[in-house]
Amino acid sequence: METLYIEPTEFTPKVIFDPENSTFDISGFSRPENVIGFYKPILKWMEDYNDIVLSNNTQFEKSILTVNIKMTYFNSASSKFLLDILLEFMKFLSKGNKVEINWYYEEGDDEILESGEEISDMLGYQFNFIPF
């Protein structure tokens, strides 16, 4: 499956989902004018990736998926889609894979840290919180 790469803009984050290396990065600023239009293709890519890896290949090698979230700002509409994307990654846990979620936050940015803690609590899954 091809890598998903979306260039950042003034209002949208950079997205690099690299299935070959099992790394999935979202970083930057997220306040898209059309939040559904921006995030739906990412969710569709995730659904396709899950179908290919989990549904079609029952003998796949168990692996560690590394998710890196390094947001400087995101609005409430974006947070819902970030949660939806992370829920897609949780499907891999049920198949015996490991998912490592690294939530980066600028040192002193309590708002981004607390948002990550809330999402972690909603998922019932422990993130690695990493200041930078």
Q: Facing residues of 73 across strands?
A: 29
Residue ranges of domains in the chain: 4-131
DSSP string of 60-92?
Answer: PPP-EEEEEEEEEEE-HHHHHHHHHHHHHHHHH
pTM: 0.91
Check whether 73 has a pLDDT greater than 70.
Answer: yes
In the predicted model, what is the mean pLDDT of residues 16-44? 96
> How large is the angle between the packed helices 35-50 and 76-93, nearest 10 degrees?
0
Q: How many residues does the chain have?
A: 132
- Give CATH for domain 4-131: 3.30.750
pLDDT in tens, 52-71: 877 655 555 667 899 999 99
